[in-house]
Chain A
């Protein structure tokens, strides 16, 4: 076999619902965030020891943890920013997790998603954390600044005024930083439950672009955060996977994209698609190769994809406007991991092919993907 193969290296069952898994940068340790049956938050640190997993530390807090990131911490301190079910954002020093380094009540409901940037990137602006919550707000935090967000992107106080709007507040489900290639430029992509995809420009302080996709957006990631934006992968309910080419913005048509309709369903053993349309929960690009990414789906399978650029990425339409050309998606391999949705996945930032995945069957798995370098 010369194509990449995904292998379950280690498996660890836990006694709580796993919500997020993240590697600690430059270490063999990863963090598991979750919710205990009594809805307390739990944070476990595991260490990879050849063919065993060792639990190094376990921390319990009052509110269930939803999501976390190391994006805003430097290599030296490696603090983790965590969002919980009560709308609180905390930054924890994993050596001394009892006292939070930073603690703020940012949202009125659950913090659904978090992303951070600026920790290890040089010359790329301040370290910032962005959180998105059930209250529909997107807030950017700088932990050096007290209890107020540095950028607040909240929906208006009253909703349901239009004909087509539901009375409910929209729910922000996915967030990603991107386009951060110098001290000024920075973008946030935000995905909402109604399929809205918005691109906020933090330099111009405005909405750069927006679109609406058929289904609610569950996962978002730029292929790289710290380069002029190149590609944006979006995953949705009912199995949608879209990859936008973010190099060229057409004045009216926006960005072009390639779409895969049934990325969440399991392809049966002989290629017959069966079962209901399943959500694609997450998308994660390989840190060592930005054109390869993985999606975790509601049927408990994970799929590895490769994006192939078109011969020419830009063409000029009749009016002389530049329009991007989307490439092609190739599915490299698919494996069934669990009977429950695989909703969190993290590639190790320093080791090609090493990853940790969390699923709703109360277990975490360390995966090895072979031959990724041949892609």
Chain B
């Protein structure tokens, strides 16, 4: 433009492409962006319909294109309805109370010192020294191949100096350059290692968590209620951030701190820690936290759902069943609970009374079951719906069977979801073992795959995830508070 070039020339797009037919066919998002830009600029004329058409096409090809960014004039607060502003007014009043409490606290004891860490020893970081050091390294770092010829510049051989060229050994030169590179790399690594090493020491310190707990407690004792609430809230929010970033261990740590700081109002922290534990597959602790949350807020539906989920995954299906029913009592239309209940019913049938045994005999498919079982099978009653009467024969039945039967095989839940991926992966692993040359690298991949498979299996057992279209319910459970 400034240089007298139109956008058309700049992007090198033939004018014939500014056409409905071409726009319709074009599948290249980048090109489409350029076309839209040309059309919008108006350099080639004003074609509102074509522009719109091109924009729509681009939206299809690349929905998050920068060209769709728009800027608006800021709106005044009158666009907000009264009820939207009210929370802010309420908050203002609430925070003013806290503010006053803090001011009073300040008057109370200004000398109070929260045993602050000692003052740092006075030091100087000399940029000068570092700079000379780094400026030496810098050119070497960036284009690692380029500086080498420069450094040998002093002994550069003139192109006409044939006697010297005769002595020149390119191989040796290359070797030298390689060595140089190697050395650099090593130094850089050592430098980084120092950083990492120091980090490890810190981790050791962190492992002394009990002392940390004590120190925290000591500090809590010095804080007022307002301050404690404030700290607890900060920790809880930080936990939420970790949770969102899928760093569940860290999230658990933050929630734990939040709970220690304000145990009286820790329902949300307990609840969030429970979901973090669920994510970590630590169901027992999740159950504990859900219960703690429910002690503080007995009708918290989210906590109930999480508790049911944790119970289910821990294998306590009966408890899980009961909790889902309780959720339905509180919220008769809770879709998540309904679906899970349905799922549970399908899996375990109508649940047998508490004193009945959990054993259920499954009719094994003929190809997996030993052939000797076949004649016996039809004789056993179908235990799919173990009504109060049926469990008895079902449990007696296996005892009568000849001893060479594997009882463990008979005692199985009604539905076993076998992951085909696992067997496939194993088969794949078998073939890979033969080819030893690349085995090492691929073995690691295999392990990764197996881990994935394992996690996939555990997910398969979740009642919510087995039913399709349950993403909404999942979200409900995962939502943080």
Contact = CB atoms under 8 A, between A and B. Distances in A.
Interface of A: 5-10, 26-29, 48-51, 74-78, 95, 118, 120, 122-123, 125-128, 140, 142, 144-145, 148-156, 162, 182-185, 198, 200, 202-208, 210, 224, 227, 249, 251-252, 266-272, 287-291, 301, 309, 319, 321, 330-331, 333-337, 350-351, 354, 367-368, 370
Contact of B123 (A26, A78, A150): A150
Contacts of A269: 70-72
Contacts of B71: 266-269, 301, 334-336
Contacts of B102: 26-27, 75-76, 78
B162 interface: no
Contacts of A50: 89, 92
Given A291-B241, A335-B73, 8 more contacts: A26-B102, A26-B226, A123-B212, A126-B117, A126-B119, A151-B120, A210-B134, A289-B244
9 contacts: A7-B75, A50-B89, A50-B92, A198-B127, A203-B198, A269-B72, A271-B67, A335-B71, A335-B74
A152 B124 contact: yes
B172 interface: no
Question: Could you tell me the dominant secondary structure of chain B's interface residues?
Answer: helix
A200 B146 CA distance: 29
B118 A126 contact: yes
A26 B75 contact: no
B120 A27 contact: no
A87 B124 CA distance: 19
A292 to B, nearest CB: 11
A267 B69 contact: yes
A252 B118 contact: no
Contact of A126 (B85, B120, B241): B120
A368 B127 contact: no
Contacts of A183: 117
Given A7-B76, A142-B120, A252 B144 contact: yes
A128 B116 contact: no
A75 B69 contact: no
Interface of B: 37, 40-41, 64, 66-77, 79-80, 84-85, 88-89, 91-92, 95-96, 98-99, 102-103, 105-106, 110, 112, 114, 116-128, 130, 134-135, 141, 144, 184-185, 188-189, 191-192, 195, 198, 202, 205-206, 212, 215-216, 219, 226-227, 230-231, 233-234, 237-238, 241, 244-245
A126 B116 contact: yes
A122 B260 CA distance: 14
A292 B71 CA distance: 18
A337 B76 CA distance: 11
A272 B106 contact: no
B349 to A, nearest CB: 41
